[in-house]
Structure 1
Amino acid sequence: MKIHPANVKKIAILRALQLGDLLCSVPAFRALRHAYPAAEITLLGLPWAAAFVDRFSMYIDKFVHFPGYEGLPEQAFDQDKWATFMQLMKEKRFDLVLQMQGKGTIVNEMLQAMSLPLVSGFHCDESTVNSDLFVKYPEGISEIDRHLALMQHLEIPLHGKGLEFPVYAADMAEWENKILPLLPEKYVCVHAGSRGEWRQWPTPYFALVADYCAEHGYEVVITGTKEESPITQQVIYFMKNQPIDMTGKTSLGTIGLLIKNASILISNCTGVSHIASATRTPSVVISMDGEPERWAPLDKAIHRVIDWPR
């Protein structure tokens, strides 16, 4: 390995993004944990990702809220929160920070200004870092392979490409309390929501597919966050059959169980599609963003991705 484990006691990973982004990084997190088994690994992420760290505690030990930075779209920049974060980073004294946020056009300069001991990650022509710990951001490949490429650049042995979604006793208890009239593999999950309208297949189309499943003997379960309620209600409105509406009624754990036990997931290219990949639930994923090669599940035998713009 380029960085010997004896020299690394505390690692920070900058990946302040959404569920699908983090799930696609799990194989890299797994390799990192095997390479540095005694290190304390911290995720610098969005507020929701504290729950992700709890679920993946076998790979990540701690969570710190990354408050955003000027030019990054995920959060509004707040100078006071940034100052607090900078102070915390000084106190944490990380031996290594991994830039897994993206190409580095904004964050590489930000990290360099923080005077950290060791920083590794991605760069591009607009964000070049003069360090052999950085690798050029690979284009045209799977998001899973992209982050494994960083591990390989650091000479960290890989431990498979498979995604994971662990389920715990608390998830099972919460699931059982919902008392849903569902038999395993006798229902389909239809997830019409997504972050950004450009990634959403039209709701009447989802309704047509949902009705097709219902007419072939399957229960139809509509899933989505509370914020996606306007979208899921449109799907239900356009349907001829009555589905089970689970909009806003599932935690991260119960949506995982719901997808795990489904016959199939039908969704936009969004976080739930990666849960289906992790649980090996067959899926049909409609890609609206023109990047199916980046986000498509690797196992094409049980997952069908439709590049809708083409």
Structure 2
Amino acid sequence: MNIHWNDCKKILCIRLDNMGDLLMSTPAFRALKESFQCHLTLLTSAAAAPVTADIPEIDQVIVFNAPWVKHDHVATPETYQQLVETLRKEHFDAAIIFTVYSQNPLPTAMLAFEAGIPLRLAYCRENPYQLLTHWIPDEEPLHTVHHQVERDINLVAFTGAKVMSTKLSLQTHETHWPAIIKKMRLYGADHLKPWIVIHPMVQDAKRQYNFYKWVEIGKQIIAHHQCQLLITGNTGEEADAEALKEAIGEGAINLAGTLSVAEFALLIRKSPLVISVNTGTIHIAAATATPVIVLYALTNLQHTPWRVRSEVLYFDVPPSLQSKNVLLQYAYQQIPKHQLKKATVENVLKAVNKLLQPV
């Protein structure tokens, strides 16, 4: 079956990792939609799926927790075979596999091959032979490193897709605001008074910032800016957020586990500033044009906030938690650590002062 990219009207985009990774792929999705006027189906993980309803470029979502991607779900050969059959019945014209440079695309390419999808595109380090019909040799991180947004845009550009805008795509809805106000009041916040959001928790231990430094940052912000400090987090992080709230004291409010993804995105959009570790929150901030300070563990440095007012402050990862992936080890060794602005309490407070100033 001979088919060209210009003829593709039903494209499967595969992004199997996390919410932040998915948001960074949205400019590439938009380029496909605008260039080919296609129906776009996303194959993604349960972790990323909650944000998909507010990404307008996505027409359909299929959720699969792949055994070759880090998550807490148990995959089985049976669920894999069921997915192959589901994809086969959809009769996609093409599959485009979006990856971080440290990920191997070949398991996903095999999935698309078994599903009979005629065009299959991805970056790949080794020769994929028949698993990919269109192969871009992956030069990252050995020869170059691109921001993830640029990496994904360059991937779809291989199809001939034209990029008109590189803005991250995420819609927010004012209809959620009354529910957010109700929850803020329930937990002791006043939506009529100034606030700053901090998002201190993260599931990946190597990205955790020092608890006692968070406490000092929180106390100083409340004292110097006479504002509320809204502590946000995912379901399951309520206890850690409560401990931080108690340690910071008056002015800190624990909202962890209380907001849906759509509510959280709207709260971020309405906030003057967000302070977070490097997780999906910083990409929601970028998508909603909210100034953001990132306390950034020295991991994937190509995932900084995309084209939004921001300050990125870095802290190192303990040797015991550093990745065993040789590509990430190589990238880590290339980082000019002495040139990076450190995530000290003082630097965070300076960044707060800077980003709260009007443009």
Instruction: Note whether the superposition's TM-score is higher than 0.5.
Output: yes
Q: Name the structure 1 match of 2:321.
A: none
Taking a change above 3 Å as real, the CA distance of residues 66 and 154 of structure 1, as seen in their structure-2 partners, is same
Partner of 2:79: 81
Contact 1:220–1:244 under 8 Å retained in 2: yes
CA distance in 2 between counterparts of 1:174 and 1:88 reads 37
2:173 to 153, 161, 168: 168
Structure 1's 246 and 131: CA in aligned 2 closer, same or farther, altered over 3 A?
closer
Q: CA deviation at 1:86?
A: 1.3
Counterpart position of 1:199: 207
CA RMSD, 1 decimal = 2.3
**Corresponding residue for residue 98 of structure 2:** 100
> What's 1:72 paired with?
69
Letter in 2 for 1:197: A
Question: For 1:120 and 1:4, how far apart are their aligned partners in 2?
Answer: 11
- Other-structure match for 2:324: none
Deviation at 1:256, TM superposition (A): 1.2
1:165 deviates by: 2.5
Structure 1 counterpart SS, 2:236: helix
2:46 aligned residue: 47
Give yes or no for contact 1:119–1:133 (8 Å, CA) kept in 2: yes
Alpha-carbon distance in 1 for matches of 2:261, 2:172? 10
- Aligned positions, number: 302
1:54-203 equivalences under 5 Å are: 54-56=53-55, 58-69=56-67, 71-74=68-71, 75-102=73-100, 103-125=104-126, 127=128, 133-137=134-138, 138-139=140-141, 140-178=145-183, 179=185, 180-183=189-192, 186-203=194-211
Return 102-111 or 271-280, whichever deviates more: 102-111
Identity of aligned residues (%): 20
2:110 and 2:131 in contact (8 A); partners too: no
Q: Match of 2:126, SS?
A: coil
Q: Which residue of 2 aligns with 1:9?
A: 9
Match of 1:221 in 2: 230
Rounded to whole Å, the distance in 1 between the matches of 2:248 and 2:157 is 48
Question: For 1:298, which of 306, 313, 334 is the aligned residue?
Answer: 306
Distance 1:73 1:291 in 2: 15
Work out whether residues 17 and 45 of structure 1, in 8 Å CA contact, stay in contact via their aligned partners in 2. Answer: yes
Letter in 2 for 1:157: K
- 1:177 Cα deviation from its structure 2 partner: 3.6
What one-letter code is carried by the residue in structure 1 that aligns with 2:153?
Answer: L
Q: Once the two structures are superposed, what CA deviation does each residue of 1:88-130 show, in whole Å capped at 9, x if it has no partner? A: 1111111111111444143234433443211112211375668
The one of 261, 264, 274 aligned to 1:255: 264
Counterpart-to-counterpart distance in 2, 1:191 and 1:12: 33
Counterpart residue type for residue 199 of structure 1: R
For residue 307 of structure 1, what is the aligned residue in structure 2? 314
Contact persistence 1:15–1:101 (CA under 8 A): yes
Q: Tell me: CA distance 1:155–1:221, structure 2 relative to 1, closer, same or farther (3 Å).
A: same
TM normalised by structure 2 equals 0.77
Aligned residue number for residue 274 of structure 2: 265
Please report how far the alpha carbon of residue 67 of structure 1 lies from its aligned counterpart in structure 2 after TM superposition: 4.0
1:113-152 Cα offsets, whole Å, 9 max, x none, are: 4432111122113756686622133432211111011022
Which runs of 5 or more residues in structure 1 are unaligned? none
- Does structure 1 conserve the Cα–Cα contact (< 8 Å) formed by 2:283 and 2:306? no
Q: State yes or no: 1:20 paired with 2:20.
A: yes
The residue identity in structure 2 corresponding to 1:279 is: T
Tell me the distance in 1 between the aligned counterparts of 2:268 and 2:76.
37
The one-letter code of the counterpart of 1:274 is: H
Assess if the C-alpha contact under 8 Å between 1:192 and 1:231 holds in 2. no
Inter-partner Cα distance in structure 2 for 1:91 and 1:21: 27
Is the helix fraction higher in 1 or 2? 2
Among 293, 309, 326, which residue is 1:284 paired with?
A: 293
With the length of structure 1 as denominator, give the TM-score of the two structures. Answer: 0.89
CA contact (8 A) 1:97 1:118 kept: yes
Distance in 1, Cα, partners of 2:31 & 2:179:
31
Tell me how far 1:169 sits from its aligned partner: 4.2
Of 125-134 and 187-196, the range deviating more from structure 2:
125-134
Alpha-carbon distance change, 242 to 161 in structure 1, aligned in 2, over 3 angstroms: same
Q: Which residue does the alignment assign to 1:234?
A: 243
Which residue of structure 1 aligns with residue 346 of structure 2? none
* Residue 26 of structure 1, CA deviation: 1.0
User: 1:250-277, CA deviations, whole angstroms, 9 ceiling, x for partnerless residues?
Assistant: 1112111221122211110001111111
Which whole-Å CA distance do the structure 2 matches of 1:264 and 1:97 have between them?
A: 38
